[in-house]
Structure 1
Amino acid sequence: MSATTTSGATFTLSPGWTKKADGKIVELEAPEGDYKIALVDVGPAADAAAAITAAWNLWAPQNARPAKLITARPARNGWDDRQVASYETSPNEKRDLYAVAYRRGADWTVIIADGAEATGEKRLAAIGLVQQSLRPAGFKRESFAGVTAKPMDAARIADLRSFVEQAAKELGVPGAAIAVTDRTRTLYAGGVGVRSLGDPTPIDGDTSFAIASNTKGMATLLLAKLVDEGKLNWDQPVTQVYKQFRLGSDETTSKVLVRHLVCACTGLPRKDLQVILNSDPKAAAKDTFAQLAATEPTSGFGEVFQYNNLMASAAGYIGGYLSYPGVDLDRAFDQAVNGKVWKPLGMTRTTLDFAAGTSGNWARPHAMNIDGKPELILGNGQKLNYAFTRYGAAGGAWSTANDLARYVRFELNEGKLDDGRQYVSAANVLRRRAANVPVGEDRVYGMGMQVDSDYGIDVVHHGGSLGGYKSDIIIIPSAGIGAVLLTNADDGQSMLRPFMRRLLEILYDGKPEAAADVTAAATRIKAEVLKEAQSVSRVPDGTAVAALAASYENADLGPLKVIRDGKGVNFAFRSASVPFGTKKNEDGTTSFVATDPTFLFFPMVVGTKDGKKTLTARDSQHEYVFVER
């Protein structure tokens, strides 16, 4: 629903949210009633900080607190300036809080988002939609509709490669692999930078990376092939093809159709901490179906975008089961995706075998450390990645730029192999791109594929994220061009959307925005890390360490053993041993805070329950209390 502020700025409101206007303020409230967004037309102010203060005073001065950090974003969508304020909140508040100040000329409009963290996570797409769509009165969006794409010749490919090289340098990403393809052949596959800090070996088009959630589109391609073979259909209940499947209650289970497995539309929240900290790599299939059986959606089917890796993992196991019913589930998906997807497409270097992916020509993972510098994370980073890649279809594959170019080309050709044969029907290839749930303004999620049309043309893509690896694949049907970006550092995440934007700029002579997006992200990320580091004692408080129990247990996340090492302390989970510092929270509680780059700043709050010592970990919608044993 389109709406306006009192100054005439326009924005889009998701269904189910309520709107109340009062003078300079438009207040939005989530369906749960515990999350609000205020759009405040402040008018002239000295700077962003003054505008944000004025907005709080107009809307809810009793809830205001000083900003922890204010960082700049590039001017976009008709605004001359954008600044984001972050705030210090104690973990036990479970509060999502931030503000964004937008300036047009001398006048400021401020968005304040304040509410329950769980609702903020569940309604993330709807909250982002308000910000993404906010534009000053009279602004006309850029559109490439009807524009003929330029050819991706050598000069334009060199431009894209140069952009990646500069972006990696600014963000501290050691290296990246790139591929560009049209409908007939790979136009370029190569790399920039190095496979590992301290090693001059360069990245090339055959360097292996963990591609994480980019595996999901390949899993749904397997399902599409099985639909063609008559072994399932998109709209049949999952229990008809795999009777052991269960999601929460009988009522919920009966509603789950095959297409729901990888649609991020069932209302099922993430449950990644179990995978990361307490998974059994030898029985990921068993873990997947057991966790799903114990989980109920937190919103209605199709109501909101909520990403869930367990459902995608189940999709792969079910696809494997239908392909090889006599094979153990933990191996069946591997055989199926190899035999029905990767081999037919000529993807010879793509694998679910962790040992194969991390041998020979492979990129090592990196992350920013507590000092704001990139660091090799072969320890806990790879332990996390190993645990997660056992859940194959959710994000287990390793691949190369050259191989992924073949996959992207297959998507461009709507199911045709390079020799022209129709291997998967176009109807079932395209069904994976059909909208299941909105992700943002003119952005929708299909089945392991997202389609963005905010520039007037469809851009089909999907990202991937594991410890030290961030990637994206891009398909632009109207241009007949696809691209791949693979990076070997967590901060490569800030290259993905700019890479897509730069590709569109090159193809359609778009406004030059991508480079500024990278520069702003690089500045912001380092500032945020260094600011948070100021509040953390890397050598943990001795009294707090002495008060810890020797070991703890949580039913979902498993055992936690406390390992004291001189003045330091490690928490040993089932899958990793992590060093922790301490932080005094504003509410008087103490948190142990991870100082390892892979888990950086992950907090665990000290407490008691029924006379026993506890450590509490949270994600946005779950609370896990470890109790002393």
Structure 2
Amino acid sequence: MLNHVRAALRVTIAATVLVVASAHAAPPSDLDRYVKRVFDTFETPGMAITIVERDKAPVVRTYGVRRMGEAAKVDGQTMFSMGSTTKAFTSAVLAMLVDEGKLSWDSKVVDLLPGFRMYDPYTSSEMTVRDLLVHRSGLGLGAGDLMFVPETTLTRAQIVEKLRYIKPATSFRSGYAYDNMLYVVAGQLIEAVCKDTWENVVRQRILAPLQMEHTTTSSTTPPGANKGWPHGRVSTELRGVGPMTPLPKQMSFDNSAPAGSLNASIADVARWLELQLGRGLDPRTNVRLFSEAQSREMWTGQTLIPVAQNPKPLELAQANFRAYALGWGYSDYRGQPIVSHGGGVLGSVALVVIVPGKDVAFAMMTNSEETSALAAVQYRLLDHYLGLSSPDWIGALNDVRKARIAKGQEILAAAATTAPAQGGKGPSLSLEKYAGSYRDDWYGGVTIENGGDGLSIRFEHTPAFSGKLEHVQYDTFRTRWTDRTLTEDAYVTFSLQPDGSIATMTMKAISPLADFSFDFQDLLFKPVRTVTAASK
């Protein structure tokens, strides 16, 4: 998610340093000024940064406010959504179980989690624990994410059950496509082996030993908690354009917790990074949580990721290689190998970076959908610790961001003129003929109703997916979700049988910048035929 820039940001940036010992990691001397410019450029409400060097006390710096319009400042205990950086915690628990001999990375999932099924029998029988973590299952990008994004009523067990109905996009182990679904399976596998919930296992095996007292295993925090409230730009058709505003609520996706539910303070994340630099050994307590061998295994690339060419302003940061490891990404920055992972939920993003060859790590979290803000800090810190000259990353990232938004606006503008150019033809049927119940094999049901003011649509498991359908052309409509802050609108297209009855209904996100988790294109709805007494 890359967002537009407003002219100015009026927020007081307060920096604090958490002092733990006399010898600290030495950040760039201009870090506070640099972050001030990041705030001014990307309208970032709040941010927290930690820098950890092995055998030195971490530095924690915090900036901005927890929520725009309120006075409470971000501090070292303010919790931020960690998003998919949670995946490394799930893989770490599995590493501990490998150390204990309760499973191996190449154990078959069906042997540990009876009832596990993918779409085809071969993949179901051959899927290993390692396969769950490295995005080579054959599932398409973000496949199944609509079962928990935005929040749904499905349970974790139901999500795993529905996995068997998702058709693969490629053959098993043939390529890379990022998914969240199999980390949910990994969480269920942990529960089966440990005879306890994923949440309890993570608390007992990681959070408690590291004294991470300001970290929750739930995606939401209670009212009044010291939380970096989520923010976004949601006032226009293109998410990421317009004023930065607080979102109305925290999104709950605890049904996919092993893939991305943790909330953590930056001081707690520093403890996590100390463990990582210790290769599984906590330097403060001298307690080993997982072996050095498993640390190496988790950082070893498993699935090659195609390397895309960076836009020209970012060509200096061009990676030479990319791979996915076990809950981590493995790549290079200006020739130096790095281990990293980003995380994002609606309204918040996070980034964790480890430079094994320099024994340094850092993390940045912000309460807005501003990945460019985190990338700017990441590049500045990498340059500093690698002893390299640092170009104007803020300006370069802002240029790329503005170009991407301009392209998105161009595509939307072209789409908006399509229907008039075709004379606004259709629909083929009277509106009442489109009304009824529809069902997709993996998601479930959708209801379309014909009211006095036109058609409306309602998803069975997703409260936010409810709103009007507006005709575009032919047999394509578009959603106009009632909730304009947590959703992406989509095209809804009906295909007809030769007799004029509806055969299928498909969907596609309208915005070219829509997050891949809005995987409407993977849905195939079919009418639910009502069996009448006369037809029995």
Shorter-normalised TM range: 0.7 to 0.9
Q: What SS does structure 2 have at the residue aligned with 1:524?
A: helix
- Cα deviation for residue 442 of structure 1 reads 1.0
C-alpha distance in 2, partners of 1:564/1:364? Answer: 38
Q: Out of 181, 194, 219, which is 2:90 matched to?
A: 219
- Cα deviation for residue 518 of structure 1 reads 2.4
Aligned equivalent of 2:50: 179
C-alpha distance in 2, partners of 1:551/1:166? Answer: 53
C-alpha distance in 2, partners of 1:198/1:551? Answer: 44
C-alpha distance in 2, partners of 1:517/1:583? Answer: 40
1:298 matched to 2:169? The reply is yes
C-alpha distance in 1, partners of 2:375/2:471? Answer: 33
Q: Out of 441, 444, 452, which is 1:558 matched to?
A: 444
Q: Cα RMSD over matched residues?
A: 3.3
- Cα deviation for residue 471 of structure 1 reads 0.9
Q: Out of 153, 166, 184, which is 2:26 matched to?
A: 153
C-alpha distance in 2, partners of 1:460/1:624? Answer: 38
CA contact (8 A) 2:506 2:521 kept: no
| 1:207 counterpart letter in structure 2 | T
1:502 matched to 2:380? The reply is yes
Q: Out of 431, 435, 450, which is 2:297 matched to?
A: 431
Q: What SS does structure 2 have at the residue aligned with 1:453?
A: strand
Q: Within 5 Å, which residues of 2 pair with 1:150-549?
A: 152-153=25-26, 156=28, 159-269=30-140, 270-276=143-149, 279-281=152-154, 283-284=155-156, 286-323=157-194, 325=195, 327=196, 332-356=197-221, 359-371=224-236, 372-376=241-245, 378-379=247-248, 382=250, 385-386=251-252, 388-417=253-282, 418-439=284-305, 440=307, 441-490=320-369, 492-507=370-385, 508-524=387-403, 526-528=405-407, 530-531=409-410, 534=413, 547=431, 549=434
For structure 1, which segment, 558-567 or 170-179, has the greater mean C-alpha deviation from structure 2 after superposition?
558-567
For structure 1, which segment, 306-315 or 495-504, has the greater mean C-alpha deviation from structure 2 after superposition?
495-504
C-alpha distance in 1, partners of 2:455/2:357? Answer: 55
TM-score of the pair, normalised by structure 2 = 0.76
C-alpha distance after superposition, 1:298-349 (max 9, x if no partner): 33444211112111111112112212x2x4xxxx101111111111122111
CA contact (8 A) 1:206 1:361 kept: yes
CA contact (8 A) 1:436 1:445 kept: yes
CA contact (8 A) 1:370 1:529 kept: no
C-alpha distance in 1, partners of 2:233/2:79? Answer: 21
C-alpha distance in 1, partners of 2:467/2:371? Answer: 25
CA contact (8 A) 2:219 2:257 kept: no
Aligned length: 460
- Cα deviation for residue 172 of structure 1 reads 3.0
Aligned equivalent of 1:36: none
Structure 2 unmatched ranges of 5 or more: 5-23, 308-319, 418-423, 509-518, 530-536
Q: Out of 466, 486, 507, which is 1:617 matched to?
A: 507
Q: What SS does structure 2 have at the residue aligned with 1:202?
A: coil
C-alpha distance in 2, partners of 1:402/1:254? Answer: 42
- Cα deviation for residue 462 of structure 1 reads 0.6
Q: What SS does structure 2 have at the residue aligned with 1:554?
A: strand
- Cα deviation for residue 576 of structure 1 reads 2.6
C-alpha distance after superposition, 1:195-254 (max 9, x if no partner): 222223222221112211111000000001111111111122122222232223332122
C-alpha distance in 2, partners of 1:522/1:169? Answer: 15
- Cα deviation for residue 262 of structure 1 reads 0.8
C-alpha distance in 2, partners of 1:353/1:272? Answer: 18
CA contact (8 A) 1:304 1:438 kept: yes
CA contact (8 A) 2:431 2:455 kept: no
Aligned equivalent of 2:420: none
C-alpha distance after superposition, 1:27-46 (max 9, x if no partner): xxxxxxxxxxxxxxxxxxxx
- Cα deviation for residue 263 of structure 1 reads 0.9
| 1:255 counterpart letter in structure 2 | E
Q: What SS does structure 1 have at the residue aligned with 2:214?
A: coil
Query: Which protein has greater RCO, CA pairs closer than 8 Å, 6+ apart?
Result: 2
Residues 186/316 of structure 1: CA separation in 2 closer, same or farther (3 Å cut): farther
Residues 359/546 of structure 1: CA separation in 2 closer, same or farther (3 Å cut): farther
C-alpha distance after superposition, 1:4-46 (max 9, x if no partner): xxxxxxxxxxxxxxxxxxxxxxxxxxxxxxxxxxxxxxxxxxx
Q: Out of 573, 582, 591, which is 2:478 matched to?
A: 591
| 2:135 counterpart letter in structure 1 | A
TM-score of the pair, normalised by structure 1 = 0.66
C-alpha distance in 1, partners of 2:374/2:171? Answer: 30
C-alpha distance in 1, partners of 2:56/2:452? Answer: 58
Residues 580/503 of structure 1: CA separation in 2 closer, same or farther (3 Å cut): farther
Q: Percent identity over the alignment?
A: 22
C-alpha distance in 1, partners of 2:334/2:172? Answer: 28
C-alpha distance after superposition, 1:65-105 (max 9, x if no partner): xxxxxx9xxxxxxxxxxxxxxxxxxxxxxxxxxxxxxxxxx
CA contact (8 A) 1:194 1:203 kept: yes
CA contact (8 A) 1:279 1:575 kept: yes
Residues 581/520 of structure 1: CA separation in 2 closer, same or farther (3 Å cut): farther
| 1:424 counterpart letter in structure 2 | F
Residues 521/564 of structure 1: CA separation in 2 closer, same or farther (3 Å cut): farther
Structure 1 unmatched ranges of 5 or more: 1-70, 72-150
Q: Within 5 Å, which residues of 2 pair with 1:64-75?
A: none
C-alpha distance in 1, partners of 2:278/2:47? Answer: 26
C-alpha distance in 2, partners of 1:368/1:220? Answer: 33
- Cα deviation for residue 607 of structure 1 reads 5.3
C-alpha distance in 2, partners of 1:374/1:596? Answer: 14
CA contact (8 A) 1:215 1:397 kept: yes
C-alpha distance after superposition, 1:370-406 (max 9, x if no partner): 4422454644x63xx31x3321111111112111111
CA contact (8 A) 1:280 1:287 kept: no
